[in-house]
Amino acid sequence: MGKLKVLIVDDSAVVRKIFTEVISRQPDLEVVGTAPDPYVARDKIVQTRPDVITLDVEMPRMDGLTFLKKIMHYFPLPVIIVSSLSQRGSKIALEALESGAVEVLAKPDGAFSVGELGVELVEKIRAAAQVRLTPQKPTKAPCPSTRLTPLTQTTDKIIAIGASTGGTEAIKEILLRLPSNTPGVIIVQHMPPKFTTAFAERLNQLCAMEVKEAQDGDSVSTGRALLAPGNFHMLLKRSGARYYVQVKNGPPVHHQCPSVDVLFNSAALSGGANVIGVILTGMGADGADGMVAMKNQGAYTIAQDEASCVVFGMPKEAIRKGGAKKVLPLSRIPEEIRRVLSASSS
């Protein structure tokens, strides 16, 4: 099998140079071209036929978001969005994910450090190369108050969700189809800091539930979904009848912070059979061991099936290790969550 071909599109010569150095060190990756703007990139795509493109958002002559939409329309390819950590940049990157980008990579402030950037960059390139690009119809949110079966309010059920590559759209599809009186939801999506802030704000605008980036000590309660902030682990804790989250620093687990395994293992300990665990699309094995732990403690566990995953890595490992009670396409997971909650409250 040949090397994965990468095209780097960024208006900064420094970024192009550093990305080229980092990628070229990998025996399975090859930089087949660089471009300072989308017009040069367009010609390079035709000439080099790359497997993956890294794309800046803010560039001269044409912004990255406009160019991304053109790529997805005329020449669909896995695209990794590269953006600064500014609030504005993070919101644009979320729009890019909705427009077909498969990953986001945060540029560190100031001068680049090859050491801090290298591992994340090459992992995201390898993950992007596995993505199966299929036309996606825009998700329409049903009206939870009128079109979904109402759920009996409960304070002792928890829904724990973990995802990585492709997970932003998968999480959105699930939350859009859960009513406002759904028991508390806790979510880990592999994302950099501030991207998680913008993602939570976007979901909060769209969903019937309140969605917020978690803060240490936040209660996990009916009608609320908490998203782990980038660069922090999130754990489920219980004090008497109250569930809450602990948000804390810690070393990466499976190269990730936040880590799905950290969340799922804490859910197994603190929630046990009161938890519904869901593992969604993503590269690697993060969450597989935690899902096994949840299932062993009596939790109801669901893994997304291969056909509906952008990358069938994390769910595949959870299934292989015996952690999944149910394997379902993404479109059926919200219905299954509602079914289990309704059955438990009757």
Active-site residue, selected from the candidate residues 51, 190, 254, 289: 190
Name the E strands within the chain.
4-9, 29-35, 52-56, 79-83, 103-106, 158-163, 185-189, 210-213, 224-227, 233-239, 242-248, 275-279, 300-304, 326-328
Active-site residue, selected from the candidate residues 286, 289, 305, 308: 286
The DSSP code for 321 is: T
Q: Model confidence over 73-85: pLDDT tens digits? A: 888 999 998 876 4
Q: Model confidence over 12-27: pLDDT tens digits? A: 898 899 899 999 999 9
Contacts of 161 (CB under 8 A, 6+ apart): 171, 174, 185, 186, 187, 188, 277, 278, 279, 280
Provide φ and ψ at 333, rounded to 5°: -65, -45
Architecture per CATH, 4-129? 3-Layer(aba) Sandwich (3.40)
Which residue did the predictor score with more confidence, 333 or 131? Answer: 333
The answer to whether domain 4-129 and domain 144-345 are alike in fold is yes
Sorting pLDDT into bands at 50, 70 and 90, what band is 109?
A: low
Is 255 tagged catalytic? Answer: no
What's the mean pLDDT in 332-344?
94
Is 190 tagged catalytic? Answer: yes
pTM: 0.81
Superfamily of domain 144-345: Methylesterase CheB, C-terminal domain (3.40.50.180)
What's the mean pLDDT in 198-212?
95
Active-site residue, selected from the candidate residues 83, 84, 90, 164: 164
Q: Model confidence over 116-136: pLDDT tens digits? A: 667 788 988 998 888 877 654
Domain boundaries, the chain: 4-129, 144-345
The DSSP code for 282 is: B
Which of the residue ranges 5-14, 190-199, 293-302 has the most confident prediction, judged by mean pLDDT? 293-302
